[in-house]
Structure formats: structure tokens, C-alpha cells
Structure 1
């Protein structure tokens, strides 16, 4: 009777196979390093436990499993149910007027995701809206009378902006 060398891993026992394992350590504390990924199928007794007195019935390479599953996945994908469109909250736009007296309102409270629109209402003076500090990437084009500039506020915080044409004109937007 020939004895078979059995190797141990952290989860199961399997007969040693030189095509699968890279070393011959028997019941070593270091895990065996498989050359290919495989899943052993053990015999299960009536109590649902693995019967280690018998050899595994079959060793399936992982490649085989993937090719067996792919047709099943394709069948599931073709049986998709109707997907209802996502109902989005309507975009809210708040308006700030640019006047000779400054921004109106000077402080504006909005919710995250809302848009702010600036309208230049000065008859003969252009306007250039610049964000400062955490809003420094916001820059409007030069706004003539009645021209607009919009900006989406997707982050919560307090944001300061200025009119770079008329010195001293400062506004603030608080996003909740």
C-alpha cells in the first residue's frame, strides 16, 4: 500500500499534487502556495459536515467555474425588469443682483446642490464676480448690463465672493 502525502492549508486538507503546490511541506504552519486556483469538492455526510475519510470527489480549476457561470449571468442580464427613471429634485436657482450699492442680497442662504445666478443691473459699469478663499476657482466673465453668470454650489460651507471692478463689494453664500 503506497502512502499519499497530504498537505494542509488553513481551511481544508487535500492530497499533495506537484502540479498544484510548489513545496512538499507536510502539515506545515506556512500555507502551501498553489500554482493554480482551485476549489475542492468534498464528500458531505448526512449531518452536512465534510467527510475526511474519503478522497475529494473532484478538483475544479477556477477557470472552469468562470466559464460555467458566464452563460448563467448572460441569462440573468437578458431577464432585466423595467427600470424606472430616477426622479431628480428640480434644480433651484437663486438670484443675486449686482447694483451700484453692491450685491443684493449681500448674504444668501441656500441648500447644497442649488445654483446661484448673478445679474449685473448697473447701467454703465461692468462687473466681474470672483470667488475668494475656498471659492477661488469661481471667476465670471466681464458682465455687461443685464448679463448673467451662474455657479453650482455642491459643497456645504460659507463662501465669499467679490466684485473685482468696484472695490469693496463683498458677498457671502452660506450653503447648508
Structure 2
């Protein structure tokens, strides 16, 4: 997920509000959750797929409860299925929808692991792992790959505890 827009792109107020909420999350998670919830209400379940995907992805990160995070991550994945590269690239030319899937599946795997749904966790880990090659930013690919390995290790250890950074 990108935090910025191309200079040639028209400003996207919703994406700017999402970025602002995530910046706020570093100091006030409750206020950030409230802002993202308000944006979700504004965009609506049938609204712009990029907005829904981004809100869902980031909103899930602010959930302590794995079931609640799972709900938001499923919303993000559903929105990604409706998203096109044309729409994503209207926000930032470097984006491709395929590049969203490794992280989305990683987050779902972690949620399912925390909920004790081992088969679903394995399925989403396999999806994340199989899609890593689409990530052209090598540093970001490494972050997601490391996440896959951490969730895999926690799953193999039978842990349902929240992992640092997830």
C-alpha cells in the first residue's frame, strides 16, 4: 500500500485522510480507529475499491481482537478483488493490484492463526508465499517474506499470541 500520490495525479482526499489517520495511530490508536471508521462509513461497502481496500487493511492493523481484525482484512481482500490496476495507478503509478495480495494474505493468515484456524492460516500463508515474486520493491518483499516466516514459525509452535508488528 502506498502512502503518497504521484505529482501528476489529482489529490485524493480519502487517501490523504487514511494516511493522516495512520500517522495519528502512532500516538492515538483510538482516534485513528474512529477516523478510519468514519471514512469507512463515508465510502460505504460498495464504494471505491482502492479506498475500501486501504481502509480495511489499515483498520485491521489497529485491532487487538483477531476476529475483528479478520473482518477488516476480509473487507480489504474483497475490495482488492474489485480493484483494477488502472484505479490503483491513478493513485500512484507504481501500484499494481497483484502487489497488494502478499500482504493481504499474510494478514489473513496471521488472523486465522490467532483464532486457531490452522488450515485457513496455512492456506493464506501459501497464497502469500506464492505471490511474493510480484513485489518489485526488494526491501518491501523482504518485510513481507519475513512476516510469512514469523507467522509460519508461530503457527508451527501452536502460538495464538499476537506477534510484534502484526
TM-score (norm 1): 0.20
More helix by share: 2
Bigger radius of gyration among the two: 1
TM-score (norm 2): 0.20
More strand by share: 1
